[in-house]
């Protein structure tokens, strides 16, 4: 890995051409290395069908490149021009109510529409042919924020046709599908694939197996859509291909980011800590939200950094970093002074190759006119620019930052998220929220974490956590059972077969662990069960049968954490104090030292350094050192 770099998103088409050179100069002067352009500019590239205009783009790339900036060029397929709808009137996605989702903003296409896919192949090819070997174009972004605005799932006629084909390929016969789904249950059998509908607008809930297949199908369509452009660009360029994921969180799990990532070279994500605190962090109370309103959740960003490092198989960026108030959350406060620097350094400490700010100059017009940039609309410096400059200088002093292996591994599987959304059983059960709760407990203990897909090698991590892994095959179970250090799985582990049925023998059926979910219950807010020794279980508790050793119990004697050797089963959803106990137990078994960090303080270790981030809105002390609100500190890593 080379030294971390900074960058910015830029829209030359929004500004008079005579501003470009000065903008480029100021970017370079501030210490930025990268500039992303082009991803919404289809009408400028192709004002009329087939009438291409790349002259402006040639000049923009040249101007930026001459200033020493490396260009990320985006394909503009998230914003098909209005004329595209004249050619493909049926290309729109449909919402859950069955209505077309119309023109007038962005992402107005259905991933299943073959005609639009062909148009995307065409424009990507044209761009690849023109710029694939351009000396200034150092990377390519495909499309923009797949799935954002709930667009990964479409109930359109195009999606219906494709879903039937997908099912036919998977099941080969309606009878096989009927058996797999258990359609006998309410006489829901189909005689032909053409009778199968999308699982919206049914009288009461549809068969969860039906929904689960539709979720898998929808995710596959995103990956297939993306692959069309990958396939078009690969022969035309040697530069890395990336996509900018709009994070994951509880609401953006609609396609498998690992699947899309498998076809790409770098995973990048769009990090908006303040907006996400309001609309994606659902597990914390009002006081917490207010305390962190100008800093963001202390673990949300870090979780995503670790996740996308896995999605990118080690290579990842932030390609859009919030630089100030945004326009899209219910409320949009300004970050505390220092937070832009803090967010940037947190990403770098997690191994980001680059952190790019969104955007250069705040646009005074259209949808995002209240979205801050590094420049104000009047071209004056916005506060974030100084913080970016500071980071650039600090990087220059610090040099390379090599990510270290995390102390613990946390497994993450998008299919588990779909399964739980399909069948929450308790209204507040969210897979992502559960995994963030586990992750936060690891962070509160001062540990650095690697997030891994379940298929990854786990042998390098002293401790493995795998909450909520609904689907576990025998091979995965065996690998976990064979792991050297402590492994903690559950709740809901291995609770469904691939066909979305309850397996028999009952879950989790882990090798060597005598514990079986005899019954389970979801618990409304307030129906908590205290744990012997501190903490509570809330939201979810399974009744376990079996003689596995009990590590943590409720005060009325129900097992919550059980073990056989290093393999543990967690039978409920602990609260914050409960999670701390689970992590403390696992860390002790793993021989990992845990810390009692003050509220808001977080650590991340690199190969050489320990970085400390104070998310609290007040100074904290650590080891005799005061770290200011929004402060970042680093020191040589203690030898273990």
Among positions 29-48, residues that touch its own copies (CB under 8 A) are 40-44, 47-48
* Residue 210 binding target from Zn ion, its own copies, none, CB below 5 to 8 Å by type: its own copies
Side-chain-side CA neighbours of 608 within 13 Å: the count stands at 5
Was 418 annotated as part of a binding site?
A: no
Q: Which residue is nearest to Zn ion (CB)?
A: 563
Q: For helices 208-233 and 174-181, what crossing angle results, to 10°?
A: 120
- Per CB under 8 A, which of residues 98..127 are in contact with its own copies? 98-108
Q: Which residues pair with 452 in a beta bridge?
A: 411
Instruction: Enter the tokens of residue 63.
Output: 């101007």
- Work out whether 94 is an interface residue with its own copies (CB under 8 A): no
Was 207 annotated as part of a binding site?
A: no
Tell me how far, at minimum, the Cβ of 505 lies from its own copies, in Å: 6
Per DSSP, the residues of 12-32 read GGGS-HHHHHHHHHHHHHTT-
Was 166 annotated as part of a binding site?
A: no
Q: How far apart are CA 430 and CA 417, in angstroms?
A: 7
- Per CB under 8 A, which of residues 519..548 are in contact with its own copies? 519-524, 526-527, 543
User: Of 5, 39, 119, 320, which one is the catalytic site residue?
Assistant: 320
Angle, vertex CA 9, rays to CA 7 and CA 15, nearest 5: 130
Binding map of its own copies across residues 554-593, x = CB under 8 A, - = no contact: ----------------------------------------
Only one of the segments 163-171, 248-256, 403-411, 495-503 lies at the binding site for its own copies (rule: CB under 8 A); that segment is: 495-503
Only one of the segments 379-387, 432-440, 475-483, 581-589 lies at the binding site for its own copies (rule: CB under 8 A); that segment is: 379-387
- Per CB under 8 A, which of residues 211..240 are in contact with its own copies? none
Q: Using DSSP, state whether 228 is helix, strand or coil.
A: helix
Beta carbons within 8 Å of 102's beta carbon, 6+ residues apart: 92, 108
* Residue 79 binding target from its own copies, Zn ion, none, CB below 5 to 8 Å by type: its own copies
Contact 620, 297 (CB under 8 A): no
Tell me how far, at minimum, the Cβ of 412 lies from its own copies, in Å: 24
* Residue 168 binding target from its own copies, Zn ion, none, CB below 5 to 8 Å by type: none
Active site residue 118: no
Nearer residue to its own copies within complex by CB, 172 or 202: 202
- Work out whether 581 is an interface residue with Zn ion (CB under 5 A): no
Instruction: Enter the tokens of residue 583.
Output: 């992590």
Out of 136, 359, 563, 581, the residue judged to bind Zn ion by CB under 5 A? 563
Nearer residue to Zn ion within complex by CB, 374 or 487: 487
Active site residue 320: yes
Instruction: Enter the tokens of residue 103.
Output: 């023109």
Q: How far apart are CA 91 and CA 156, in angstroms?
A: 9
Beta carbons within 8 Å of 465's beta carbon, 6+ residues apart: 408, 409, 410, 411, 438, 442, 488, 583, 586
Q: Quick one: which of 70, 74, 61 has its CA closest to 34? A: 70
* Residue 596 binding target from its own copies, Zn ion, none, CB below 5 to 8 Å by type: none
User: Of 5, 46, 119, 145, which one is the catalytic site residue?
Assistant: 145
Q: Quick one: which of 68, 79, 6 has its CA closest to 360? A: 6
Q: How far apart are CA 108 and CA 111, in angstroms?
A: 10
- Work out whether 209 is an interface residue with its own copies (CB under 8 A): yes
- List binding-site positions for substrate: 106, 144, 328
Question: Catalytic positions, please?
Answer: 145, 320
Footprint of Zn ion (CB under 5 A): 563, 589
């Amino acid at each position: 890995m080379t030294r971390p770099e900074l960058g910015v998103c830029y829209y030359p088409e929004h500004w008079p051409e005579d501003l470009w050179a000065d903008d480029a100069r100021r970017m370079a002067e501030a210490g930025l290395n990268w500039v992303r352009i082009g991803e919404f500019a289809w009408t400028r590239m192709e004002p009329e069908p087939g009438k291409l205009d790349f002259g402006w783009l040639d000049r923009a790339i040249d101007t930026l490149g001459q200033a020493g900036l490396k260009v990320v060029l985006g394909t503009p397929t998230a914003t098909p021009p209005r004329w595209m709808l004249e050619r493909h009137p049926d290309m729109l996605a449909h919402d859950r109510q069955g209505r077309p989702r119309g023109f007038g903003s962005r992402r107005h296409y259905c991933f299943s529409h073959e005609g639009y896919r062909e148009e995307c192949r065409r424009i990507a090819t044209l761009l690849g042919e023109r710029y694939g070997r351009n000396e200034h174009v150092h990377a390519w972004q495909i499309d923009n924020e797949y799935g954002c605005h709930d667009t990964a799932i479409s109930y359109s006629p195009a999606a219906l046709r494709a879903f039937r084909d997908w099912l036919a390929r998977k099941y080969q016969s309606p009878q096989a599908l009927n058996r797999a789904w258990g359609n006998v249950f309410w006489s829901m059998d189909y005689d032909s694939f053409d009778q199968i509908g999308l699982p919206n607008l049914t009288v009461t809930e549809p068969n969860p197996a039906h929904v689960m297949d539709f979720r898998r199908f929808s995710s596959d369509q995103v990956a297939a859509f993306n692959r069309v452009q990958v396939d078009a660009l690969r022969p035309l360029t040697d530069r890395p291909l990336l996509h900018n994921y709009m994070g994951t969180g509880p609401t953006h799990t609609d396609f498998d980011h690992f699947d899309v990532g498998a076809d790409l070279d770098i995973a990048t994500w769009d990090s908006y800590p303040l907006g996400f605190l309001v609309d994606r962090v659902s597990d914390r109370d009002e006081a917490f939200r207010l305390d962190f309103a100008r800093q963001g959740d202390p673990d949300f960003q870090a979780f995503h950094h670790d996740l996308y490092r896995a999605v990118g198989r080690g290579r990842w960026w932030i390609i859009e970093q919030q630089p100030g108030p945004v326009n899209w959350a219910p409320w949009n406060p300004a970050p505390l002074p220092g937070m832009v620097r803090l967010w940037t350094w947190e990403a770098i400490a997690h191994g980001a190759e680059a952190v790019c700010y969104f955007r250069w100059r705040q646009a005074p017009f259209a949808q995002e006119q209240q979205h801050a940039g590094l420049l104000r609309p009047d071209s004056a410096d916005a506060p974030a620019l100084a913080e970016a400059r500071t980071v650039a200088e600090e990087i220059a002093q610090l040099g390379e930052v090599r990510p270290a292996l995390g102390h613990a591994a946390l497994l993450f599987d998008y299919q588990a998220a779909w399964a739980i959304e399909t069948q929450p059983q308790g209204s507040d059960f969210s897979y992502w929220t559960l995994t963030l709760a586990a992750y936060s407990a690891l962070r509160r203990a001062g540990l650095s974490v690697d997030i891994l897909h379940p298929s990854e090698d786990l042998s390098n991590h002293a401790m493995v956590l795998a909450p909520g892994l609904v689907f576990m095959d025998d091979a995965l179970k065996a690998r976990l059972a064979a792991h050297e250090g402590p492994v903690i799985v559950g709740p809901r582990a291995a609770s469904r077969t691939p066909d979305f049925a309850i397996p028999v023998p009952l879950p989790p059926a882990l090798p060597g662990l005598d514990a079986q979910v005899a019954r389970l219950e979801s618990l409304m807010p307030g129906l908590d069960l205290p744990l012997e020794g501190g903490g509570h279980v809330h939201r979810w508790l399974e009744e376990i049968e079996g003689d596995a050793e009990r590590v943590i119990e409720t005060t009325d004697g129900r097992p919550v954490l059980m073990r056989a050797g290093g393999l543990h089963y967690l039978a409920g959803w602990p609260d914050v104090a409960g999670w701390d106990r689970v992590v403390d137990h696992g860390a002790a078994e793993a021989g990992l030292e845990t810390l009692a960090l003050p509220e808001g303080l977080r650590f991340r270790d690199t190969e050489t350094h320990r970085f400390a981030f104070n998310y609290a809105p007040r100074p904290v002390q650590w080891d005799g050192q005061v770290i200011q609100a929004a402060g970042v500190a680093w020191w040589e890593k203690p030898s273990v």
